């Protein structure tokens, strides 16, 4: 069994799924998804080189999705009105 201090320490690491920070990340993820769904097929179909803004955006996209995976491990969920 876990004592109350252990439970509090673990719960403090979780992000509230309804927080503005989490909603901002989700909105930015939607923008990045729209960008990836639009640009990646275009770049692959016409064998374009990643120069300038395409290279910058590809690094931003790659970085965002990598960080998003790890941030998902810290996102809580709600059960009976409490973040778990």
Express each pLDDT in 35-64 by its tens digit: 999 999 999 999 889 899 999 999 999 999
CB of 35 within 8 A of CB of 57?
yes
What's the whole-model pTM score?
0.75
- Report the residue count for the chain: 84
> Where do the DSSP E strands lie in 1-84?
78-79, 82-83
- Token pair listed for 4: 């109350």
pLDDT at 81: 74
pLDDT at 15: 77
């Amino acid at each position: 069994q876990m004592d109350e201090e252990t439970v509090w320490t673990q719960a403090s690491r979780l992000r509230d799924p309804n927080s503005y920070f989490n909603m901002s990340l989700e909105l930015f993820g939607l923008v990045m998804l729209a960008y990836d769904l639009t640009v990646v097929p275009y770049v692959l179909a016409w064998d374009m080189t990643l120069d300038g803004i395409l290279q910058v955006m590809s690094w931003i996209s790659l970085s965002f999705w990598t960080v998003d995976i790890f941030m998902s491990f810290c996102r809580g969920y709600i059960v009976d009105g409490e973040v778990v």
